[in-house]
A and B are shown apart, each in its own frame.
Chain A
């Protein structure tokens, strides 16, 4: 499952970052998107992209194209 496919309110755990671009990958790691991190989908922009996620007690908006490169496991 990739993060961009999740709906608002769903929670997930990061399995792997498949991000090709080194800079973006680095930035995502710095922002705390490391393996095992718990994530919740909070809101979506009115046009559906970017998507606001909650992790490590703060909120981060990420575009769908980046989220689609993050492999996750849905948790209940």
Chain B
């Protein structure tokens, strides 16, 4: 079985399918859900699966330690025509918590089979699997008020499709997904019934489900009064007003230190060196086998170098995923969300968004993949689009080259200013995106607070393994194709000659054709800078090595005095255009690895392209502004009056836009005018 047991709700985002060992049964692990209402992606996936794939049996995994809330979904599953078996999970924890559940009585009350299992300790699972073959029909308990039950049978009689009872109840609840089955007659029924209850049927039905569960629970469950639990004691520390934030800083430091700090970068270097050695070995082997130069170069410089760049991330990713998985299964992740929720919610993100940003300062790829800890789809997408804005470690060579050469003794300040600039841009983008692209339903937060748990090593190992494999599959395939394309453009001329000078390559021609794009931020047509920026797509550290190659130097030269020397294509770069070029490389489309990760997290290539376009546009606009202002300061034509007037106009325009969005956001409730528009 492939059941997910993460210690916070919503762990499985996608469904997973497998075969139960020793049987022919196919089993699908659906996302964990609370209800079959169509309001979250998880619930929607599960509901569609039940309706479209028509499973023979539903195994309802119920958290035995919080039976009341968990049985709510059960009451809805029992409305379907499908056979439901209940697995009371975490049975091993019941005794510890002083809870006693009478499974036989529960079976009687619910009219379905109930098995006590422990997914962690793997007990009771064989009995559960054997029950799947039991073809006996199960009874359906009626749980609602007579008037509602009458109405349900009336509506069912007019329905033709399967799951009559379920659909009838959804129709009474005015479920938006069954609107097409709605009739005027039904509206009438609903109105009549609602007048009896002084509220809408949605609330009545939810209330009756819960009162049914309360009754069942009273008969089947005996529990001791809960005293202060272990979790409460831990929360006194981890959620303490004064020490919660220092503890968080320490935890984050550890995660950062392990995944992108000393340990992580050490492993990356190790893999990098080995890949290089492997490339050389393949190169010489191919040569002795008699492969042509260009085939050799395709394999070594195109494929192995490109894919090697991806493989280099893997040790880092394993460590990072391990840390994240531990934070999740112990329950600390839910606390992090609580710590920062208030702050990040203002920006349309979630408290958990902080983690991807911190990780992203090392490498965007694990940062973007780390956004998966965020439950809300909008917040998750927005975070994964903004994570690449944080300068990652591969952008550092660019920053140190330009800042070191052009800013001399102020290079430290120049580099640091880029980080602040990045934070400012992230906050502004988040503010704007959350009010335009991702129109938030509200600033609401409703999430379960799980108890602290000791993580299961087996589960953590499997979780990390699954995530790493997924990364290799998706990001790997994108990188492979893109690396080959860039290699091809760089190694061939338009006459299809191999081994030409970089200046005669197709990439250089393309660079020369589109170098005007960079004119506003460089103040000149500079094909070298254009080509280098494009090469940054493979990996950001490539920008520097490409500039070295174009200047006629060895690939690993990183001295500004040589790269920017008189006679090289980069001689014309000034302080203003240097800073602008850094800004462009910082914010523009990230490397293919990060783009691949973004494609995976955003769920579609189209969305990924939109995100990349957004990032690159931001980069271009910001770099242009930097150069245009900077170059005027440089030449002394900087005019304070002009700047003041322009900024005043800009602030006014932004103000008007925000006011307009705010009006849209609050809708009619804030509008002081007539009521006619409704």
- Which A positions have Cβ atoms within 8 angstroms of B? 17, 20-21, 23-32, 34-37, 42-50, 52, 56-63, 65-66
Kindly list the 9 A-B residue pairs having the minimum CB-CB distance in the complex, ordered from nearest.
A63-B445, A30-B35, A58-B66, A29-B206, A56-B68, A45-B338, A34-B207, A59-B449, A46-B244
Task: List chain B residues, Cβ under 8 A from A34.
Answer: 203, 206-207, 210
Q: A46-B244, A49-B341 are in contact. Are A35 and B203 (CB under 8 A)?
A: yes
Task: List chain B residues, Cβ under 8 A from A56.
Answer: 66, 68-69, 210
Asked if B417 CB lies within 8 Å of chain A CBs, one says no
Task: List chain B residues, Cβ under 8 A from A57.
Answer: 65-69, 223
Contact of A59 among B240, B339, B448 (CB under 8 A): B448
In the complex the two chains form, is B445's CB within 8 Å of A32's CB?
A: no
Closest to B448 in A: A60
Other 13 A-B pairs with CB < 8 A, given A56-B210, A57-B65, A61-B446: A21-B442, A23-B441, A24-B446, A27-B39, A28-B446, A30-B35, A35-B207, A44-B239, A45-B342, A46-B244, A50-B341, A61-B449, A65-B444
In the complex the two chains form, is B339's CB within 8 Å of A26's CB?
A: no
Closest to B338 in A: A45
Asked if B447 CB lies within 8 Å of chain A CBs, one says yes
Task: List chain A residues, Cβ under 8 A from B449.
Answer: 52, 59-61
Task: List chain B residues, Cβ under 8 A from A24.
Answer: 441-442, 444, 446
Contact of B445 among A31, A44, A48, A61 (CB under 8 A): A61
Instruction: With a 10 A CB-CB cut-off, give which of B68, B334, B444 has the most chain A CB atoms.
Output: B444
A59–B331 alpha-carbon span in the complex (Å): 13
A31–B556 alpha-carbon span in the complex (Å): 59
In the complex the two chains form, is B442's CB within 8 Å of A65's CB?
A: yes
Asked if B96 CB lies within 8 Å of chain A CBs, one says no
Asked if B235 CB lies within 8 Å of chain A CBs, one says yes
Size band of the interface chain B makes with A: 35 or more
Contact of B339 among A21, A27, A31, A45 (CB under 8 A): A45
Task: List chain B residues, Cβ under 8 A from A52.
Answer: 338, 449
Q: A30-B206, A57-B67 are in contact. Are A47 and B342 (CB under 8 A)?
A: yes
A16–B447 alpha-carbon span in the complex (Å): 20
A46–B34 alpha-carbon span in the complex (Å): 27
Closest to B67 in A: A57
Contact of B239 among A26, A46, A60 (CB under 8 A): A46
Decide if the interface of chain A is mainly helix, strand, loop or mixed. mixed
Asked if B669 CB lies within 8 Å of chain A CBs, one says yes
In the complex the two chains form, is B72's CB within 8 Å of A30's CB?
A: yes
Contact of B39 among A23, A45, A49, A60 (CB under 8 A): A23
A52–B451 alpha-carbon span in the complex (Å): 12
Q: A21-B441, A61-B338, A63-B443 are in contact. Are A32 and B39 (CB under 8 A)?
A: no
Contact of B210 among A32, A43, A50, A63 (CB under 8 A): A32
Asked if B378 CB lies within 8 Å of chain A CBs, one says no
Q: Shortest CB–CB separation between residue A76 and chain B, in angstroms?
A: 17
Contact of A63 among B68, B235, B341 (CB under 8 A): B341
Task: List chain B residues, Cβ under 8 A from A37.
Answer: 210
Asked if B241 CB lies within 8 Å of chain A CBs, one says yes
A29–B75 alpha-carbon span in the complex (Å): 14
Q: Shortest CB–CB separation between residue A69 and chain B, in angstroms?
A: 10
Q: A32-B72, A56-B69 are in contact. Are A46 and B448 (CB under 8 A)?
A: no
Q: Shortest CB–CB separation between residue A41 and chain B, in angstroms?
A: 13
Q: Shortest CB–CB separation between residue A50 and chain B, in angstroms?
A: 5
Task: List chain B residues, Cβ under 8 A from A47.
Answer: 339, 341-343
Contact of B34 among A30, A36, A45, A59 (CB under 8 A): A30
Asked if B245 CB lies within 8 Å of chain A CBs, one says yes
A44–B444 alpha-carbon span in the complex (Å): 16
Task: List chain B residues, Cβ under 8 A from A45.
Answer: 239, 338-339, 341-342
In the complex the two chains form, is A26's CB within 8 Å of B37's CB?
A: yes
A58–B34 alpha-carbon span in the complex (Å): 13
In the complex the two chains form, is B69's CB within 8 Å of A31's CB?
A: yes
In the complex the two chains form, is A26's CB within 8 Å of B39's CB?
A: yes
A49–B443 alpha-carbon span in the complex (Å): 12
Asked if B665 CB lies within 8 Å of chain A CBs, one says no
Task: List chain B residues, Cβ under 8 A from A21.
Answer: 441-442, 444
Q: A49-B342, A50-B445 are in contact. Are A58 and B69 (CB under 8 A)?
A: yes
Query: Would you list which residues of chain B between 321 and 360 have a CB under 8 Å from chain A?
Result: 334, 338-339, 341-343, 345
A28–B203 alpha-carbon span in the complex (Å): 10
Q: Shortest CB–CB separation between residue A64 and chain B, in angstroms?
A: 9
26 cross-chain CB contacts under 8 A = A21-B442, A24-B444, A24-B446, A27-B37, A27-B446, A29-B207, A30-B37, A30-B72, A31-B446, A32-B72, A45-B341, A49-B342, A50-B342, A52-B338, A56-B68, A56-B210, A58-B66, A58-B68, A58-B448, A59-B448, A61-B446, A62-B445, A63-B446, A65-B442, A66-B445, A66-B446
Task: List chain A residues, Cβ under 8 A from B441.
Answer: 21, 23-24
Q: Shortest CB–CB separation between residue A46 and chain B, in angstroms?
A: 4
In the complex the two chains form, is A66's CB within 8 Å of B210's CB?
A: no
In the complex the two chains form, is A17's CB within 8 Å of B203's CB?
A: yes
Asked if B503 CB lies within 8 Å of chain A CBs, one says no
Task: List chain B residues, Cβ under 8 A from A61.
Answer: 334, 338, 445-449
A20–B669 alpha-carbon span in the complex (Å): 10
